[in-house]
Structure 1
Amino acid sequence: MTTSKLGEYLRSRRARVTPPDVGLPQDGRRRVPGLRREEVAMLARISVDYYLRLEQGRERHPSPQVLDALGDALLLDDDGRLHLYRIAGMTPLPRHEGGIERADPQLLALAELWDRTPALLLGRAYDVLAANTLGRAVFPHLPPGANVLLTMFLDPSVRSFHAHWEKAAANAVAGFRFLEGARPNDPRIHEVLRTASESSREFADLWQRRDARGKSDAAKVLLHPDVGELTLRMQTFDVRSAPGQQLIVYHAQEGTRTAEALRLLGSLAATRRPAHRDDAPKRAT
């Protein structure tokens, strides 16, 4: 049977939606979880034959109207809809893939002013390009040059660093698929994906779920070796001067134990701060 990324994604999303989720009756036992193809077709107001061709990869160029209808039928969120459009070829892909990624020195200088706010600068394949002083203190396992996805699955210490490792791992994989959908020809993304797939069965299993979502406002609970439990909110900002790069900023509510712990980490980091280097972190692919 032929297939495509679009067909695989539709099939995986269909399996995650139950009839009651979309107002349909649960009519006894089903051989497979989720909606039937004919139910998705009915909800999207397209023919069953056309939907079948989409899942099987025999039809690869649905219209925006069909994609919108499928997004509604499968209850996709904004990230899911964007991923659907990308793999259907309905959004422009970057003109240039690969090459050297550089951290903007002005952006790094700005981040260093945030003495109570950890920050990481990630490249287009989750490579850590840079971090401010507090970011390096909060995430000692993610020095510039490390890869967030590979570290998540291949560094045993990370499992005890995240209070909810399974959730953090699933989010990392979903975020990486979202990146891969935006840059399907990027050699560094392919390299990281190949290494993770060959080295971690847990990653391979999560990758097969085909969840796709970008990093967003979320809470993380970390178990830091120096200051104990940290509860941090996360915000993600695209770097306009370097498409594909993301600035990840963490913060704690004032007056909390975490806020006090960040101040302590900042003080400790200041005493351990290495000599300043003028060269911005970079990676060649």
Structure 2
Amino acid sequence: MSDGTPLGEFLRARREALEPRDVGLPDHGRRRVPGLRREEVALLAGVSSDYYVRLEQGRENSPSPRVLDAVAQALKLDAEATDHLNRLCLTVSQRPRDRGDTDVSPRLSRLLDGWEHTPAFVVGPALDVMAANSLARALHSGFERFDNLARMAFLDPAGREFYQEWERAAHSCAAELRAARGRFPESARIAALVAELSDLSAEFAAIWRTHEVRSKTQEVKHLKHPEAGDLFVEFAAFTVNGAPHQQLVVYQAEPAGPTAAAFGTLREASARWHGTNPANRAD
């Protein structure tokens, strides 16, 4: 059994997610434990069973790049999961530091505010919302707080209505946190958030145990706002130059389509709110 090292937990989870038929091995019926056996992974990777057991138990501290590539191929890891595997084997001195910055540059803030027709916001490694423009805040106005994407998805009841493909969104959030944990294993913020979500959401805890790894990329999301209705947004995330721990997230709508019209509705509602809220009036 794994001793609980991040490397061992990752290897075991990915091994248990595979069946013999997935890797071209004969299936001799029901097994007492799920997934591949350790000796089967060792065979596929071309290493001894004893070596692979040491690797999974955290007793092999410096596997070569060749061995890691062989294990990744044996476990059918994609490029991102393979990169994660390699990061788990870095020494403390080799790991990047999460500086815990909570500030967004003034230039980036001005860029966000200048996008009146596009929801845009900046998130940190733990999916904390660090800055957002008015349309992004209006888009997420149905949530109790627009502060952390993972907490919003798993702990706020509005998440299941807002994310029409909730399971997909939930898996994405957990996989993004797992990728961030691999990049910044010493981050107290990520550790605290994972502990909170694991304690308060059985669904998060179950997904977290699968060790899925995925960063934000590009895709289409189906969202539903309590006032604007259904929205189909094109989603993209970009690393911020000078602050690689931050990501700029942008939602776009098809020009002249229903979602663009809904964005207009949200923009008008946001303007009305700012105009009537005393906190936003000049003295």
Tell me the TM-score normalized by structure 1: 0.88
Write the distance in 1 (CA, Å) between the matches of 2:21 and 2:274.
Answer: 56
1:248 partner SS: strand
Deviations 1:231-282 (A, max 9, x none): 1121111112223111111112234322221232223323334778xxxxxx
Is 2:24 the counterpart of 1:33? no
Deviations 1:142-192 (A, max 9, x none): 698712212222211212111122221121111111111111111211221
2:63 partner SS: coil
Question: What percent identity do the matched residue pairs reach?
Answer: 44
Equivalent position to 2:95, from 93, 96, 99 = 93
Q: Which runs of 5+ in 2 are unaligned?
A: none
Which segment is superposed worse, 84-93 or 155-164? 84-93
Is 2:160 the counterpart of 1:187? no
2:44 partner SS: helix
Letter in 1 for 2:174: V
Write the distance in 2 (CA, Å) between the matches of 1:256 and 1:92.
Answer: 48
Superposed structure 1 runs of 4+ greater than 4 Å apart:
141-145
2:245 partner SS: coil
Deviations 1:42-99 (A, max 9, x none): 221111111111112221321111111111111111221111111111793224643x
Letter in 1 for 2:238: F
CA RMSD in angstroms comes to 2.3
- Is residue 120–residue 130 contact of structure 1 (8 Å, CA) maintained in 2? yes
- Is residue 236–residue 248 contact of structure 1 (8 Å, CA) maintained in 2? yes
2:107 partner SS: helix
Tell me the TM-score normalized by structure 2: 0.89
Aligned to 1:280: none
Aligned to 1:266: 267
Aligned to 1:50: 51
- Is residue 161–residue 224 contact of structure 2 (8 Å, CA) maintained in 1? yes
Letter in 1 for 2:88: I
2:243 partner SS: coil
Cα distance change, pair 273–61 in 1 and its aligned pair in 2 (3 A): farther
Letter in 2 for 1:118: P
Is 2:193 the counterpart of 1:205? no
Aligned ranges 1:71-90 → 2 under 5 Å: 71-89=72-90
Aligned to 2:125: 124
Aligned ranges 1:247-258 → 2 under 5 Å: 247-258=248-259
Cα distance change, pair 37–211 in 1 and its aligned pair in 2 (3 A): same
